[in-house]
Amino acid sequence: MPKKALLIVDRNPEIRSLLRAALSQRFAIDVAATIVEATAESRHAKHAGFVVDIGASAEDELKFLRGMRASGDNRVVVTISANRSRDLPALCYEAGADGHVDKTGALIRELRALLPRLLQRAGGGANGHRRTDGILLPREAFRFASAAIDPKTMRATFGRKGQSVDLNPKEIGILHLFARRQGHLVRRSEILAHVWGPHATPTSKSLDTYLVRLRSHYRKQGIDLGRILRSKPKVGWWVLREKP
């Protein structure tokens, strides 16, 4: 089977070379130094996904993302950045990114883990998502906190007994984001942008209401979400990695 093609967009030639070497075993890698080059490349269907460095201002890169999504281009985009602004991940997701990874010593390891999952989901079309009630939901079932969540049936099934509960689209969207971001701090702004969308104006109180409902669903099944979700007041939640 031929390798899927990725375009790495980064101003730093050393980073481009590093990522090409690190990812070329799994993917066919092309590189671009500027957003202008990336825009030209995105007009062709060659690449299944993009890894885009977000610079200090982020303006051009976010405009590129918004332009892709506005044109109906749903190919995978993962943003990376050395910018430690706490709002940057939410801005990237709002613009249309499928994932965001900080430029740390774990960059390559996280990209190697994240990109195959995103590209596999994208094989189903529209980045492997479908829109329900205004919420972009995954097409395939996923697991989080001892539950199997099926977006097609809108149900979560718990444990060996197979007890299940109905979920609404926003509840599934929140759980899916938590499942994708295990090992990271998920900020309130990121959840609101990812689940409610860039043009909605929900409040943090609305988000708290959904978290209370999700905790209740799990509690009724004898599962404490607090063992995985660690609240950081007024900021968000640390999502601990589940043990296999």
- What the chain holds in terms of domains, given with CATH numbers, is 5-123 (3.40.50.2300), 129-239 (1.10.10.10)
> What does the pLDDT read at residue 241?
85
Residue 241: CA count within 13 A, CB half-sphere = 4
Q: pLDDT digit string (tens) for 144-181?
A: 998 999 988 888 998 766 788 888 888 988 998 899 88
Per the model's pLDDT, the better-predicted residue between 129 and 95 turns out to be: 95
Distance between CA atoms of 113 and 134, rounded to whole angstroms?
Answer: 29
**pTM listed for this prediction:** 0.56
Q: Per the structure block, which two tokens stand in for 184? A: 């990271």
Do 53 and 88 contact (CB within 8 A), yes or no? no
pLDDT above 70 (res 126) = no
